[in-house]
Amino acid sequence: MKALIISADHFEDSELLVPYYRLLEAGIEVDIASISRGKINGKHGYQVDANKALKDVNPDDYALLVLPGGKAPAAIRKQLAAVRIAQAFFAGNKPVAAICHGPQTLITAGLLGGRRATCHHSVAEEMREAGVLYEDSDVVVDGKLVTSRQPSDLPAFMRETIKLLAPPTK
């Protein structure tokens, strides 16, 4: 099983690193994609290697999409490849987990209208304008979509994200 994290410079460090390491811990291979391959820098000084360029991502290769927050989504949402990747995950009914400003890419992709979701308080009005049924909660699960507000919500965010990856119980 493979997961894809999409981000860029000025990501919220914990919102990328916690999912990355938690997924690895669960035995899931993780790729990080950005506008181009190479190092991307977090808001608080952490640096990670984006081993894929967005243009080289095949969504069919992945079981999960993670969209961390920070200032990175402002750049990511302008990339047609990122929008198409998000649309492919929704079309394939695959899990998508977005935290903080991460849902902005999903708004740009036109994927959130009529869905329940949360985000950082500074994005809430944009979410409502996009037709989202906004909830101010640590985590909101709507089908295969998991959203959270901020770094302090990461435990709930990852708990619900990992649940979506588990095979259904009989």
101 classed as catalytic: yes
The DSSP result for 117-153, as a single string, is E---GGGHHHHHHTT-EE--SS-EEETTEEEE-SGGG
**Cα 28 to the center of its chain, rounded Å:** 16
Per residue in 40-79, pLDDT tens? 999 999 999 999 999 999 999 999 999 999 999 999 999 9
* Residues in a beta bridge with 96: 65, 145
Rounded CA gap, 69 and 55, in Å? 21
- C-alpha dist (Å) from residue 90 to 42, 93, 109, 139: 27, 5, 10, 19
Classify strands 29-34 and 2-6 as parallel, antiparallel or unpaired: parallel
Average pLDDT in the 106-132 region? 97
- At residue 43, the pLDDT reads 97
Residues 118 and 136 sit within 8 Å (Cβ to Cβ): yes
Mean pLDDT of the chain: 97
Predicted confidence (pLDDT) at residue 169 exceeds the cutoff of 70: no
Full set of structural domains in the chain with CATH: 2-165 (3.40.50.880)
Q: Which of 10, 44, 101, 120 is catalytic?
A: 101
Predicted confidence (pLDDT) at residue 167 exceeds the cutoff of 80: no
